[in-house]
Structure formats: C-alpha cells, structure tokens
Structure 1
C-alpha cells in the first residue's frame, strides 16, 4: 500500500485499494507475503544445505532483461548471481566467493514454442534437460561451482513472451487493470488464445518480446515498433461504469513449432 517504504499492511481489502481499518501497517512478518512469492515463486530460489545445492528457476517478466541476486548462502558457499536475457540467449554468471564446493541447478522458464539449441559452461558444452508443463518449459542445467566466476550461456531460438505493465489505482478506488484470465494453445502451437478481462471504455496494452515470431492478431490491434519492440492494444467497449468485461484475443505465429500442445491452463 501507499505509505512508508518497507512496510506491508497486515490485511488487504478485496474490493478497494486500501488497508482495512482493523489492520496494522507495521507487522514485520506481513512482508513475508511479498518476499516469499518474490524469492521462491518468481525467482524460484531455493537452498538445500544437506546436499550443498542452490536451485535458481526464474519465471521473471520478459521485460526483466537483467538482474542480480547477491550473497546467496548455503553450507559455507556464498554466491552472487547475475542473469541476462537476449533474443537468442540466456546468460548466467555465478560468482562463488568461497572455495567450498556446492552445486547450482539453473532452470529458467521459456515459452513453449522456444527451441533450446545448446548450453555452454565457461565456453565448454554441457548437457541439459528440457522439462515441459502446461504453461511453459524449463531448460535445466546442473553444475558444480568453481571458485570465482562461472559463466553459463544457453542459446535459444523463437522464444516469445507478453509483458504487462500494471499501474496501481488511486488509493481507495477499485482496480482498473487488465486481467489475463486464461490462455490456451492450439494443437500445433501456432495459435495462442487469451481470455482477458478489463474495464469497459478502457484500452490496454501488452508488450511483445520477440515480435518477429508473431504473424497476426485477432481481437486486438498489433503495432510493431522495430525488430525488438511491439504492442498489442486491446479495447473494451461498453459503459465505463459497468464491471469488468471479457475479450478473446488470438495470436497467430509464423513457422511451425517442434512441440505438442499443452492442456488449457487457468490463472
């Protein structure tokens, strides 16, 4: 909530952007509902002291092209992690500050259409596994950390993602942001249907990562801005005073994917 930085209110209102009158804004343990989903969920960061292992399986937004995590500690090991993503590669730098031996399991998420071409650790090929689920796929690389800098590069092709830039509503008002209700792939992974919800009278935008793989868009307008930028604009018609309305948007991709379609996944 708006207020002192670092303070998370104890109870959130489900109807309006405001704390409840019975909540306390200074409950330190309430920050766990922000910190835990960020580290364990979005970053996929876990430590296993018994097996001297760090797991890093990020599900970060596609506009997070680079970030770092410092002082990850497990069983005497201290590691700084630096993550970078481009259209054709994901690069991980893991700097071990100690001589203690530990293992890093790096498993970043990719779009289901993406193809993993190779993986190299310090310029030498290393084996990898690709694990798919109904939402995305993860390329998993496990290796022992040497003292100093360990550089892992995973080369990919045809990765794709959508980017939502949320904005907080005015304090005390109802939400007006776009909601992605569900997504469903076609059997050949050449179409992706989105079920979206938004306020009537509003037009929302979704950023596009790697628009070169996207052909046409139905139910919305597709605006390209160079080879590395594009936006999908979704208008919602109706009375602005009405509640959320639903819209269907279908994305048509170019080329063929080398994968089977997943089942429907609701969010």
Structure 2
C-alpha cells in the first residue's frame, strides 16, 4: 500500500488505469504486487512472469522515464527500501527477542502495526466522503466473501440502527443469493465491498455489476493494486500484513468501527437514534430490571 502511494507507485497506478496496451497493464500490475521479487529478477525472468517479451519490458521502462530495465529495477529497490523501514524495524525487534516471543504475541504486534499504518495512510477527506455517501444512500449493500464475510456482518450490525435500509449481500447463501440481493441496486444506493487476500472473483464481478447499475461503490481492501480498486468510486486501503495468515482483519475491523462512529455523530438525528436504541435494549442487559 505504501509503495503504491510513492511517486513510482503512482506512475504505475496511472499506467494500470490508463494504458491501452494489455501488456503494459500486466507489467504495471506485477510491479505493484511483487516489488520485492522484482528487485531480484532479471529482465528475462520478469518477462516470463508477466507473459510478455523482454522488448515489452524495455519499452515499459523507457515509457515511464527510465533509461533501461536495470534503472527501473534500481528505482523499485530504492522506493521499497524507504517503504519497508518501519516493517523491518518491527521484524528486527521480533527476531532479536527470538523464542521469547510467542506466535500469539507476534500476531498481536502485527495487528498494532497494521492499525498504525492504516491511520497514517488514510485521509480525513476520503473518510468524510464515504460517510456522506452512506448517510445519503437510499439503501446500503454490504458484501464480503470468505474471510471478509465476518467483517461485512460487523459493518451491517453497526449501520442498521442509523440507516433506512442495510442489506447484507452474501449472508449464508453464497454467490447465487448475493447476485439476487443486488438485482435491485441503483443510482441512489451504495455498495460497500470488502476483499482482502485471498481475493474472491465473485466479489469483483458483483461490484462491477453494481457500478454498471450506477450505484456508488466503496471498496475496503488492502492496496490500490487490489482488483476491487478498478471498480471503486471510493477506495479505503487497510494494511493487512500477517506473518502466518493470508491477511489480518484487525485494521479492517478498526476502520469499520471508525466509519460507524463517524456516521453516528454526523448528525443530531443519529445521536438521538443511539439514545433510543440504548433505552430499548437496556431492559435485556444483565443486571437490569
């Protein structure tokens, strides 16, 4: 995520979004996803990984302002070195403690690091724009498959008391039910799509369908290189690195809570709804009579 926000990363993002050549888009996508691998690859290896010719790689490097492939690879390495300093510091600290750190503690430390990195990368204006979209939507559709399904459920639970209609797209029915739930989506609605590694193809396809129906698409994902980024009107990137799991959900859950809080306090009516909700459920709480 940090690499994609660098000067070189932004150049690659523009190529990914605007290039007419499929080969150029393939190379840009590969560089955005595999920076560490690229620093150790020769031009032939990169060409093989991208399923293009070495001539395509050379032209790509020149087109984005480098003398040759070697100069582009050096720039990737330099940018990566700057981006990885906080991560390397954490890794070094963990390695120095050696066996004194349990896998559970290491996982918790990654959660803290992911939340901190997410705070540093998100802009207030992006968050405010998403909250405005949610507060004005006729209906909000929330979609997450696989490891993202529990995050979608958490967002639905937070939004329901304050929004006129909230639809959990996937639920327990899988893709067929999800497609059916999205049939009525339109230009006055918002789809919040959540997808983290491993990405699901169905999520991207259904998000594209919602965009084609002129709904606003908000993507909660891990990187501007995520396949969801291409179909999103609003992109909220969440750091999700983990030493063992495919991805960590801790920062995503923190962002969901942040969006819920921002929506709750966005107007007086929502504050009053929160107070009424507390009154309604208070009789069911332990220790209340």
Shorter chain as denominator, the TM-score bin is: under 0.3
The structure carrying a bigger strand percent of its residues is 1
The structure carrying a bigger helix percent of its residues is 2
The TM-score with structure 2 as length reference comes to: 0.22
